Amino acid sequence: MVTRKFDVQHNDSNFDLDYDTNDGFEVFQFQLFSLTSVPPDHQKIYVAEHDTPVATDSDLTTISDKLRLISIDEHQPEPESSNADLLKSDEELARLLQAEEEALMLQQYMASENTQEFESRVRPYVSQVLMYDDARRQEAARKTVPVEELEEKALVSLAKEGNFKPSKIERDHAFLLQLLFWFKQSFRWVDSPSCYDCGNKTTRQGMAAPLPSETLYGASRVEVFGCTLCSKQTRFPRYNDPAKLLETRKGRCGEWANCFTLYCRAFGYESRLILDFTDHVWTECFSQFLGRWMHLDPCEGIYDKPLLYEKGWNKKLNYVIAIANDGVYDVTKRYTRKWHEVVSRRAMITEPSLSSLLKNITKEIRRGFASQQLSVLETRDTEENQQIERSLHSNDDESLSLPGRRSGDEEWRKSRLEIGSDKHLSSSSCPTRLCIDEHVTKIYNAFRPVISRFVEEELTKSEAVEVLGIIKGIILNLSNSPFKTRKTPIDSVLNNPKCQKLLPSFDDLLDALSLEKKVNTDGAVEICLASDPVVTSLALPVALDALDDIIYNLNKFENYGKDSLALPLLKLNRIHSGSVVASAEELPFGIVTSAFDGIQKSKWEEPNGARGCWVVYKTFDNKMFELVAYELMSANDAPERDPMDWILEGSNDDGISWHVLDKQTSQSFEDRFQRKTYTIELASFPSNLFRFRFLAVRDVQSTSRLQIGSIDLYAKTM
């Protein structure tokens, strides 16, 4: 370990920073952030004497101890070296173009003019994709999908971004993503099938000729596996008919992409089957929302990350071909930023011959299309080619970390060199996100009249828990009913004198859930929707989790009374509707706002946060709050990722200076979904910015990640 002391100049201030050279450049940036409030992705660091940029670990070991920090938000003049950097970028582009030209010249001598081998790889898929337009297959596919459930999830996902009135294009885009996530959970990956006789593991023994019942569904290949226990053989036909795959719901990437592309077509999305000649298959859909073709990998549950294979899996791509019902397209350039290297591997056919072949096949497919349709397709083809060419030499976000392959047995992935350096999709940068969580605060506040009434009526703890259990049952019934017409009868509650007397105290909760009591024409009373069903869908999971938490806390009390009407039993004056940014987040399910949505199952996950990371919360409309307490909740799994040491700070001058509000060390969460409440003991400090600096997780040796189920901030009552 080598410790260096740096003097960092920022604006008109100087900061002393002690840096352990074993920690790495990213930790150095976090240390700078804690001192200067300049987020790592906004930092530009230079050697003070001669404006040499500092960007790597090795830079920090060789430079002087005087540095200068500039925030890209401060609009300060760039140092002279930035022009040199721009020139270097131009030189790099020229070098790449030269390498491409040389690779194309070499290809003329290596590649064949004979199109037969290439065509034999593509032709079978041309007839396969036509199956996706078969009305019988589409209807069969739609019948297997919980459409209303996915529609609800799509609308809730948009609502969590503040979009409660989405357009049809936005709804269609969100539904497609939910279809992808559902398919990922409903289809099964098969490395080796279980023994059909005894259910034990099998090992591969070879191939067998397909039976007539198997060829009926396009199974030209059949793998044979032997049971490790009973020695019986198990056949694994590789079906190509997506209608059969709707039944089996299992396979590898070929079956996954084949079946998922059928689902996309069944719901009206323009879709393509994507054939990667280095042995993978996935899907593309045209997104009206994005105005372009979007990559979707059903095996991985990942979307719109076309560099996944080259950057994450370390694939050495050569040909990536899109096959659709309106043509065949070479889309390789969409999936690479190393075209000069890819060209050197495209030795099967010359580029002119490939272009001519694909044009001829596309012309065949489009034979019989109306002239207007052809005109639309040709215009879109031109636009797509222009988009691909523009993106080919674009500067990618180097902070984006794409995962290695996750589908398939680990040893198999390793043998293919597709394991990558990380097992999760993550991004080391995080945009500022809005917290759409006013409903969470309303729900928490709505339990005050309920618990207060319990105290007034002198209910015993068991009686209070019983009433809350009945209310939870009602909310569960509502959660399980169709989201557009939610309702449930409550006659059984009204017939219970104790519950009937207490029912008015739940009116605030019903309002927070956008629900109301309604008397039917027959006199029956039911709970039903009061307004927007999406608001209710967003709020119901929060209410269920809040009820569980109240019941848990009530059970911990030996006696409860007026003194109990505070944290952790009641969670009053929770700060909401602010914006939040973090050092990093996990995409797509571990984003930072997941820590503020009031739902147990969601979480914020920081891929590189085990040894240091941060979250900054900015209040709505810059309103000042005096913090009196906060709560953290452990996430659903992986206790080693729980935060252990952290500092909470507040600022009222846009983050120029920070005031320590609380500091915790050696904290431990014994259970999953466990909430821990921390009271601010220091003198009040009105703030509109709050920053958590998480310094270490429970076991930094076994993980690089930090995760938190929820973060709740509670303000002093004004």
Pick the catalytic residue: 280, 295, 439, 576? 280
Q: 304 CB contacts (<8 Å, ≥6 apart)? A: 290, 294, 295, 296
From CA 331, how far away is CA 322, in angstroms rounded?
6
Annotated active-site residue 10? The verdict is no
Mean pLDDT per 10-residue run, the chain (718 residues)?
A: 76 76 71 71 76 74 78 46 47 67 63 83 94 97 98 97 96 98 96 93 95 95 94 94 97 97 98 97 97 96 94 94 98 93 88 93 96 95 93 68 82 80 56 95 97 94 93 95 95 80 94 94 90 97 98 91 92 97 91 97 95 96 96 97 97 92 97 97 89 96 96 90
Q: Are 274 and 284 in contact (CB under 8 A)?
A: yes
Report which secondary-structure segment, H or E, holds 107: helix 81-110
CB-based contact 526:488 (threshold 8 Å)? yes
Which candidate, 500, 480, 481, 505, places its Cα nearest to that of 490? 500
Taking the C-alpha atoms of residue 204 and residue 190, their distance in angstroms, rounded to an integer, is: 12
pLDDT, position 89: 63
pLDDT of residue 397: 57
Q: Which residues pair with 677 in a beta bridge?
A: 631
- Specify whether the CB–CB gap between 540 and 478 falls below 8 A: yes
Residue with tokens 């930094």, as numbered in its chain: 700
pLDDT score recorded for residue 491: 82
Looking at the DSSP bridge assignments, the partners of residue 286 are 293
Given the residues 172, 241, 276, 297, the one annotated as active site:
297
Listed residue (617, 524, 629) closest to 573, CA to CA: 629
Tell me the three state secondary structure of residue 66. strand
230 is catalytic: no
Confidence (pLDDT) at 111: 65
- Tell me which of 195, 227, 253, 264 is the catalytic residue: 253
Strand (E) or helix (H) holding 154: helix 147-159
Instruction: At 37, list the tokens.
Output: 């409030």
* Residue 253 designated active-site: yes
**pLDDT for residue 622:** 94
Long-range pairs for 223-229: beta carbons < 8 A, 24 or more residues apart: 225/192, 225/193, 225/195, 226/202, 227/195, 227/197, 227/198, 227/200, 227/201, 227/202, 228/200, 228/201, 228/202, 228/203, 229/195, 229/198, 229/200, 229/201
